[in-house]
Structure 1
Amino acid sequence: MGVLIVTGTGTEVGKTVVTAAVAATALAAGRSVAVLKPAQTGVAPGEPGDAAEVARLAGPVTTAELARYPDPLAPATAARRAGREPVRPAEVAEAARKLAARHDLVLVEGAGGLLVRFDAVGGTLADVAGLLGAPVLVVARAGLGTLNDTELTVRELRARGLTPLGVVIGSRPAEPDLAARCNLTDLPAVTGTPLLGSVPEGAGRRPPAEFRTTAPRWLAPGLGGCWEGDAGAE
């Protein structure tokens, strides 16, 4: 994987923390890592965005952000409201290629879900993955309702001829309910893709040094970690 696209099944699913865990695990293995955030929304100028949060948690990664819009909305809408040019998939792909020429791994973190629009003509993160021929990691919620969201995301990837690398649970509670326990078995069954990790709830609030040493335990070998599945599946 020179470039890995990281998408969510929606907003607030733990995408940035999962991106940080993947970055920390790669750094621990001696790989150079870049993190590209095509469009950061809802963050004021000078404030740290998602890419900066990945660097804070994971360690010395190269960060890049192509555009920033103040409103916490989909990038296309936020760009329109701000009266600024939107980010387009071709620009994102070109930036990722340049970073890939100088790094072992480039993580491209989207905004929200796979089909959130970057521009008025409908460009999305899925289009970026297509231009790059890059696999896509899907970050999903742990509990009730996640099966539908995750299956729809994976189906859309396959319909576009893209490669879903697998699914990572972005925020797994310390005391999972019945749905969260069953989903450990059901997510790979309904998507036909492997479950590649499970990040504990609140992982992003851990001290960075602790985050970096424990991150490989949350990710499966397919992402360079040593996670072999959570106990308690039903």
Structure 2
Amino acid sequence: MSDRTAETRQTRIQQSFDAAEGYDAAAVLQRVAAHRLFEIVTARLAGRIPRRILEIGCGTGFLTEMLRAAWPEAELIATDIAPRMLERARARVGVGVQFCVMDAAQPVLPGTFDLICGNLVFQWLPEPEAVLQTLAEKLSAGGVVALSTVLEGTFEEWRAACTAEGFEAATPDYPSIRIVENWRPGLCAGQWTTERCVQPFESGLAFVKHLKETGASVPREGAKMLSPADLRRVLTRFDQAGAMVTWHLAYGCFQKPARAGVFVTGTDTGVGKTLTSACLVHAWKAAYWKPLQSGLADEEGDTATVMKLSGCLPEDCLSPAGAYQASLSPLAAAKAEGAEIDPARLSLPLEDPARPMVVEGAGGLMVPATETLMMIDLAEGWGLPVVLVARSGLGTLNHTLLSLNALRARGLAVAGVVLSGPLNPENRKTIEEKGQVRILAELPQQDAVTADTVAALSRLIPSWGAICAAPKRD
């Protein structure tokens, strides 16, 4: 779609919503989606109170009203492309909210926000993935962006009625969930969930009226409008099928990390996490934290090793929350000493949050950390993007792809994979393509690992700025 065509369509959408006088009475599913999105937002914030909130595409204020009631002390800015929609929202919500006209496709407000949200607005945007990335860049540390959109299959009953009569429905082509799931903002943690809702109507004519009353009657670009006679045929067919439509909705909720940094984990033990961590610390001038350390009876420990190899200062390497002698999982090693790991001590350090911190896990994702928490649970709680260290050779594909699937099932952002060992172009290509992940670096096998070795290898690591930059799309 050309810029001119997109601009023309956005103008038509604005005019359509401005003319939607009966929006409040007709917008049943819009209310349902607003309530669901609000529930998702409050669950993600987990008691945190946002101080500054931006709402895009606020419509007549369904979600705005809930946001205002929940956080009356917050600075709430509600925006919409349609001025008359904003007037209705202002009448609904009253004082205490700033309303302004803004195209959600071009969010231009200054400053950062603790919460950015928009209910059923993304389906109207020409480049939703780019907009989501732009919105995420406006988040403060720990901030949340939450959105809902319409999916492929919505109004399938109306489309079927049109097809049965030999016509093509003019309703928009909505994206599939597979496409939407790739709309992920940078290094934010989170994921998309789906919901299916059935909405009955008294008749097909009531459905068509509903589209007009909710401002959703703008046809798909290039669609041919039905003549009155053809429309009557489709309405009859639609009524005979039950006069109902199915909505397929998607809700995306993503949170920016509370601090700069990554969580380093591996496909298994001894895969090269500590060497990778030392290289990351050296490359980014980062701080380092090994929350749980075991095996001190056999080695000096990863904290001392990283300090020696990376050249970082002692004050840049935080002490472990738990350190144990036996070469076992942290939980088993603690039990062997009659100790208990206190989850309260495993909170992510937030001092100097703009400086990257490399947090190194113990073993792989499914290693027990406490009686109730695995390493992946800690990673999810910390919300840092993950660097997955994997062997480059035989057997790596299964372990690496399973680990990536486990991370994404939890909504964890993956900064990338580091391959450790001899260069293996075929395995690299397979992991990149099947795992849909970037390879951050390939660290060749080393006969001896010294500070000089780490200094040389760290030059293979992308800069922290490159890690944070939005990924390039084909």
TM-score normalised by length of structure 2:
0.41
Q: Aligned to 2:345, which of 91, 96, 100?
A: 91
Map of 1:40 onto structure 2: 293
**What CA distance in whole angstroms lies between the structure 2 residues aligned with 1:223 and 1:199?**
20
Map of 1:125 onto structure 2: 375
Is the contact made by 2:275 and 2:454 (CA closer than 8 Å) also made in structure 1?
no
Map of 1:58 onto structure 2: 310
Is the contact made by 1:216 and 1:224 (CA closer than 8 Å) also made in structure 2?
no
Give the 3 Å change call, closer, same or farther, for CA 223–199 of structure 1 in structure 2: farther
> CA-to-partner distance for each residue in 1:58-89, whole Å, 9 max, x for gaps?
1124112111111111111111121101253x
Give the 3 Å change call, closer, same or farther, for CA 3–124 of structure 1 in structure 2: farther
Identify which range, 125-134 or 53-62, moves more after superposition. Answer: 125-134
Give the 3 Å change call, closer, same or farther, for CA 53–223 of structure 1 in structure 2: farther
Is the contact made by 2:341 and 2:370 (CA closer than 8 Å) also made in structure 1?
yes
Q: Secondary structure at the match of 1:65?
A: coil
Shift of residue 140, structure 1, vs aligned partner:
0.3
Larger Rg: 2
Amino acid paired to 2:458? P
Q: Secondary structure at the match of 2:290?
A: strand
Map of 1:195 onto structure 2: 439
Give the 3 Å change call, closer, same or farther, for CA 5–223 of structure 1 in structure 2: farther
Which structure's relative contact order is higher, taking Cα pairs within 8 Å and 6+ residues apart? Answer: 1
Is the contact made by 1:188 and 1:194 (CA closer than 8 Å) also made in structure 2?
yes
Is the contact made by 2:262 and 2:385 (CA closer than 8 Å) also made in structure 1?
yes
Map of 1:217 onto structure 2: 459
**What CA distance in whole angstroms lies between the structure 1 residues aligned with 2:280 and 2:433?**
23
> CA-to-partner distance for each residue in 1:183-222, whole Å, 9 max, x for gaps?
121111121110110112127x24313432x133322356
**What CA distance in whole angstroms lies between the structure 2 residues aligned with 1:79 and 1:58?**
28
**What CA distance in whole angstroms lies between the structure 1 residues aligned with 2:406 and 2:366?**
9
Is the contact made by 2:281 and 2:312 (CA closer than 8 Å) also made in structure 1?
no
Q: Aligned to 1:167, which of 417, 432, 436?
A: 417
Amino acid paired to 1:209? D
Establish whether residue 10 from structure 1 lines up as the match of residue 268 from structure 2: yes
Establish whether residue 208 from structure 1 lines up as the match of residue 451 from structure 2: yes
Is the contact made by 2:278 and 2:454 (CA closer than 8 Å) also made in structure 1?
no
Is the contact made by 1:19 and 1:54 (CA closer than 8 Å) also made in structure 2?
yes
Give the 3 Å change call, closer, same or farther, for CA 102–189 of structure 1 in structure 2: closer
Shift of residue 102, structure 1, vs aligned partner:
6.2
Identify which range, 2-11 or 63-72, moves more after superposition. Answer: 63-72
**What CA distance in whole angstroms lies between the structure 2 residues aligned with 1:165 and 1:184?**
16
Map of 1:230 onto structure 2: none
Shift of residue 34, structure 1, vs aligned partner:
1.7
TM-score normalised by length of structure 1:
0.80
Is the contact made by 1:147 and 1:190 (CA closer than 8 Å) also made in structure 2?
no
Q: Secondary structure at the match of 1:137?
A: strand
**What CA distance in whole angstroms lies between the structure 2 residues aligned with 1:222 and 1:147?**
27
Give the 3 Å change call, closer, same or farther, for CA 6–102 of structure 1 in structure 2: same
**What CA distance in whole angstroms lies between the structure 2 residues aligned with 1:117 and 1:182?**
33
Amino acid paired to 2:425? R
Give the 3 Å change call, closer, same or farther, for CA 81–206 of structure 1 in structure 2: closer
**What CA distance in whole angstroms lies between the structure 1 residues aligned with 2:365 and 2:443?**
20
Aligned residues: 206
Is the contact made by 1:34 and 1:105 (CA closer than 8 Å) also made in structure 2?
yes
Q: Aligned to 1:183, which of 418, 427, 451?
A: 427
**What CA distance in whole angstroms lies between the structure 2 residues aligned with 1:18 and 1:48?**
17
**What CA distance in whole angstroms lies between the structure 2 residues aligned with 1:210 and 1:138?**
21
Is the contact made by 2:283 and 2:463 (CA closer than 8 Å) also made in structure 1?
no
Is the contact made by 1:135 and 1:162 (CA closer than 8 Å) also made in structure 2?
yes
**What CA distance in whole angstroms lies between the structure 1 residues aligned with 2:438 and 2:404?**
11
Give the 3 Å change call, closer, same or farther, for CA 221–36 of structure 1 in structure 2: closer
Is the contact made by 2:275 and 2:306 (CA closer than 8 Å) also made in structure 1?
yes
Identify which range, 71-80 or 123-132, moves more after superposition. Answer: 123-132
Map of 2:33 onto structure 1: none
Q: Secondary structure at the match of 1:6?
A: strand
Structure 2's unaligned 5+ residue stretches are 1-258, 468-474
Is the contact made by 1:7 and 1:136 (CA closer than 8 Å) also made in structure 2?
yes
> CA-to-partner distance for each residue in 1:68-122, whole Å, 9 max, x for gaps?
111111111111121101253x532x2x323x4366111110111012111112x
State the percentage of identical aligned residues.
33
